[in-house]
Amino acid sequence: MATKRDYYEILGIKKSATLDEIKKVYRELALRYHPDRVPYEQKKEAEEKFKDISEAYAVLSDSQKRALYDQYGHAGIDQRYAYEDIFKGADFSSVFQDLGEFGFGGGLFDEIFSDLGYDIFGGRGRQGGRSRRGRDLEITIDITLEEAAAGVEKTITVPRYEVCLNCSGSGAKPGTKKITCSQCRGSGRVVVSSGFFQLAQTCPRCRGEGSTIQTPCPECRGEGRTKVSRKIKVKVPPGVATGSHLRIRGEGEAGTAGHGDLYVIIEVMPHNIFQRHNNDILTEITISLTKAILGAEVEVPTLNGKVEMKIPAGTQSGRIFRLKEKGVPEVHGRSIGDELVKVNVRIPTHLSLQQRQLIEEFAKLSGEDINKESFTDKIKKAFK
């Protein structure tokens, strides 16, 4: 008799692994090695691995079984539980009681196999044809910073599938009808075996509809939907930022159980003079030396046009002034950000003789000796 592999080794986890870690690893392995997700030539090997990881999970996810296994190894499990008990009956349900409803209506197994079209062990699940809500759609739009601050209405073009008008969504040519599927007899499901599991799978012939089409609609080719482009108006509220999501209900694709939703992702384009920081905006202006010394009123750009801002006498280069509530409003709120204006003082690089004389006179009046040889100049002369 072959020696059984260590359950921890099978799942690739440490003995200190938490239940959440065990569930996460099991989900990944179960999806990777499910026999219906591998090429035909790998199915037998996948079934064995799938069986091993499911057995390991069934033991390690149950605190009582795990304690016995940690203490006595496989001997403790084999003596206490029969192989069938690990997966069936009361002992099997105890493995999944922390995952929700027993019967797999919302547990880990449903989460793993729902995308594959399975109901585990033929338990409670989808009956008959598939009733599905349409797919959600996502589209990104670009707006300016001014539009983000003030709000804007945009008209966007959305390509999507809608119910075929020619066949009213049936997929069958007008004047013809669907017939009951001969493979599943109208149930939409067929029972298949995969390893030690018995699975109820979506019928491959009718794709879970329970009926088939003999004469497809010429417009949609039996799909029941056609692709169209719709123009939709989107109201963007003031205060949105890059990454903001707008949800428009019912503007997604059509499905048998109604339309999905449309998600509009906002992308605020970079601005040439403003930078946004939360709801504040930052900008820079440059003023002359005389205005910085004497003070003045200067024009400052804002998101709503230019305004006059007072520059007090003696303003230093790099000083930041705040214009209250000239920024971006809070989304669905009452507060409005400010505009921060950084002032840069422009130093003249070329002076006329008269300008230089006036500056020198100003320096003398200020007690500065601009003609005094600096220490650096003395050093330079000494090494000439």
Q: Please name which of 276, 284, 285 lies closest in space to residue 327, comparing C-alpha atoms.
A: 276
What was the pLDDT predicted at 379? Answer: 47
What was the pLDDT predicted at 81? Answer: 58
Contacts of 145 (CB under 8 A, 6+ apart): 268, 269, 271, 274, 276, 281, 303, 328
pLDDT tens for each residue of 234-289 = 999 999 999 999 999 989 888 777 888 999 999 999 999 999 999 999 999 999 99
What was the pLDDT predicted at 102? Answer: 28
Fold of 7-116: Helix Hairpins (1.10.287)
Name residues of the chain where pLDDT drops below 70: 1-2, 35-41, 76, 78-131, 192-200, 370-384
Domain ranges of the chain: 7-116, 137-268, 275-347
What was the pLDDT predicted at 223? Answer: 83
Say if 7-116 and 275-347 have the same CATH topology: no
Which CATH number is 275-347's, of 2.60.40.10, 2.60.260.20, 2.40.70.10, 3.90.550.10?
2.60.260.20
Q: Please name which of 315, 139, 345, 96 lies closest in space to residue 236, comparing C-alpha atoms.
A: 139
| Domain with residues 137-268, CATH architecture | Ribbon (2.10)
Listed in sequence order, the DSSP H helices in the chain are: 7-11, 19-33, 43-60, 63-72, 74-80, 83-87, 89-96, 108-113, 145-150, 289-294, 353-365, 375-382
